[in-house]
Each structure stands twice: as C-alpha cells, then as structure tokens.
Structure 1
C-alpha cells in the first residue's frame, strides 16, 4: 500500500469489517446489488480507516463504464469492478494485519499538555476563522449569501464567547460555558470551562467605556479567584484600549499559586 493509513478501530475490528465486505461481494451475482455495494464501498471503508489516498483509490477501482445499449457489456463492466475491489480488499486486509497499523482512538481525551497547545493555537488563530467564515467571498452555488454574513457583527464578549466556544466544542466535547463553581462563601463563573484539562478561558471584549486600568482590575480579580490550573485570557480588544500589547503579555503570562496564566490579545477586527 503506497499510502498512509490509520485505523479508527482496532486491527481485529477493521479486518472483520473487510472480511464481511469480501464475503458479501463474493456471494452476490446480481449486477444491481453489486453496483450498490460498489457505490458505497469507499464511504464504508472511510468509517473504519483514515486515509484520503486509500479512499480515492478505492473509489477509482469501484468505477465502471455503463453502456446504455448493452446489458451484457454493463454486466461485464460491473463484474470487472467487483474483481478489482475484491483484490483491493484482500490486499488491504493482509497489509493491515501484517503491519499492525496504528489505531486512532478519537474518543479518548487529549493529554493536558497537548490540550493547552491546541487551545492556544485556536485562540491565536481566531481571526483566521473570522476571515474565512464571515469575510471571504462565498461560493456562488451556496445558500449562505455574502449579505447575510455581513449582518453578523461582534458587539460584546458574549458574541466572542459564542464564536470561540463553537471552535472549541468539537475538539473538547466536555467543554461548557457559563460554568458556576462554589468557592468558600462565594461563587465564580467560568466563561468557557474545560474540565478534562483543568482549564478555563476568560473572554474579554473591550467597550468604549472601558479603560485599560479597568481591564487590568478585571483580569487581576479573575486570576486570583479562579481555581483552574490553566487560565487562558482571550482579550478581543475591539476598542484598541491596550497601548502596548507586548508589555501586556509579559505582565500577565506567568505562574503563581500553582496556576499557569496566559493571555492572547486580538486587536482589532472589523466585524
């Protein structure tokens, strides 16, 4: 196999699936039934194996030429595609069994260190999402129109939080918003909380009435009261109140009381 292959299930489960596909194809002679299997074979394999090259090759091998004037030619063409796919599946099964390919467990939690790296990458590239989703030209055949996207504007931190959470949730399904925690005689509220990596993300969106000093006070209070190991501040400086971003980052990127605090500042975006 001259392509990269990773398994979504164990070797035994994947080989059992391939065996089932082989047996089903070998037991069927009706051209219509064979054609149905050939049509779905790539999608079915993609459920068990991650490999864009393999899926493309499978799709190509499953193709056949139809002749509207000859049922015999159609039958021969489908039969030839069937034999190609059978040989392909047998080679794939042997390769997977012999190489003991890697099983990707998509359902398992990501370790803490990797989780933080992923979250920081999402925060630092937030504008890339804004640009590609709301600002770039849309496809002419799509139902989502440019004027609809232009109506979406970020007005406050709840808007920022919603967009950001939609990027985080698919990767961290246990993430939650507006999470309340009781601490001694008071309560704290986490904007975005990710229990699996002991992390909270505090979203700030500057407003015309906010000064840099006010922002400092809010962040200082949050840093003190929050009880997560990792505290990530995401400051959407809509009003450009932060005068020196580099100095600001040096001030707040630190560790104290066994907490790791990092800040990402985005300034500004016209949305």
Structure 2
C-alpha cells in the first residue's frame, strides 16, 4: 500500500477508536466502585483490524504496535486501556509520517505455490546437473526415497523460511506417522515417493490413498502435494493415477510425477 494511502487508512482507524472511547459507559466493578468500559466487541474488532493492517504493511515490529497488541481481552475493554491503544496508534502514524519507524522487509524467503511447483518441475534437471561434477568429485546420487527427500529439502529452503521435515501427523487408523514436509505458512504438506521395480502402479495408488486420508485430518494441511520421482519410468503413462486421485479429492491433492513420460 502506498504511504499516503496507508496513513489515510490508519487515520480512519484512529477516528473509529476515538468513537469507541467516546461511547464508553460506567459499569460497577464492586459494591462500592464503578469504572468506564467501552464496547468489548467493538474494541476487539477494531484491535484486530489495526493489527491486521499493520502486519500486512510491515509496521507490526515496533513498540507502538506491541503496546496495541498487549491491550487484549484481559483488560475487559476498560476505557483507560482502549484510550491508550488509540493513542499508541496515533503515535505510530506520526512516527511513520516522519520516517522515525521503518517498514519491515517482507522480501524474505516466503515462497508460494508457483515456487513449489517450479521445484517439482525442475527436480530432474537438478539431479542431472549434480551428476556432472568437476573432476569427477563425489555428489549426491539419488538411489532411494531418502535421497529424494534430502535434495528436495535443500531446494525448498531456497524459497521457504519455514520448512518442517518429518512432522508427526495426528493419530490415524490407530497410530501416528511422520509426514515428509510441512510448509506451515502455506498449510501445505508434501509427500515424497520414489518408484522401484518391486512397486506396482496399484501398490503406489493404494499408498497414496492412505496418505491422502491421513492428511485430511491434519489441522495444518489444507493442500497435499504428492511428489513422485520415477527416473526409470516404472509407471509408464502415469496420467491415470494422477487424474483419478486429483479428481476424487476435490482439489485437496495435487500429483507431480517426474520426469514425465
């Protein structure tokens, strides 16, 4: 958001905060005492809107924002605390206008779906490049599923800050298992497979069906990517597996089989 536009939006919120303060009412807090309270729901809605716009625009890492965040439901929306939160917002606006506070750099490695799919699509090219080492030096040879996971992990951290390897899944069918990777910011799980001569298409499909049902109950999984590395072409034309699984789970799962035949 442009600076002028952001300041205008924050000033509107400050005015809304003033209105909440002005509408405060006296309520008893004991048999002998009373205090001024603002509307609890109005204040919490206002506070949420303020913190959201600050975070979206990189203005949430400063003392003004910290003080606003501290004024929570624990204060029961007492007027004195709500008024203090509004004053903190006004102080933040003034400091931002005069360039006394900086916008946090949001250009860290926070990749998206396009980055993830690009990694899958170029995985085979990376494997081939690793084979061509100077002076025949040692390299990572992809022999099994663990090798695929190691290389994929290295590629993921180039684009994503929060890559969680081997997270526990909730209990499913009587036991707990580990997932391969969780991208918590994207609420995305990545399940990795490597084909082998002893695995049939049917067995692979059955494994994936179990995985899909398992991840559907995970609170952090809104999207499941199944990356299947098939360097020896054991699956042949694998479009049937891909189409059936994606079609039957209404967008929850995406299948990437690489290299494509």
Structure 2 length-normalised TM: 0.52
Are 2:141 and 1:153 equivalent residues in the alignment? yes
> Structure 1: where are the runs of 5+ without partners?
1-101, 139-144
Instruction: Map 1:80-159 to 2 at 5 A.
Output: 105-107=106-108, 109-110=110-111, 115-132=112-129, 134-136=130-132, 145-149=134-138, 152-159=140-147
What SS does the aligned partner of 1:187 have? coil
Contact 1:177 1:193 in 2 (8 A): yes
What SS does the aligned partner of 1:233 have? strand
Contact 2:115 2:159 in 1 (8 A): no
Are 2:239 and 1:246 equivalent residues in the alignment? yes
Closer, same or farther: CA 241–178 of 1 in aligned 2, 3 Å? same
Please name the residue that 1:91 is paired with.
Answer: none
Q: Distance in 1 between matches of 2:245 and 2:200?
A: 17
What are the superposed Cα offsets for residues 97-148 of structure 1, whole Å, 9 maximum, x if unpaired? xxxxx996223845xxxx122111111111222233x144x5xxxxxx3412
1:201 to 190, 200, 211: 190
Please name the residue that 2:253 is paired with.
Answer: 261
Contact 1:231 1:259 in 2 (8 A): no
> Structure 2: where are the runs of 5+ without partners?
1-102
Please name the residue that 2:204 is paired with.
Answer: 215
What SS does the aligned partner of 1:158 have? helix
Please name the residue that 1:56 is paired with.
Answer: none
What are the superposed Cα offsets for residues 176-213 of structure 1, whole Å, 9 maximum, x if unpaired? 11111233653131101111101111110112211111
Kindly report the root-mean-square deviation, in angstroms, between the aligned alpha carbons of the 2 structures: 2.7
Structure 1 length-normalised TM: 0.50
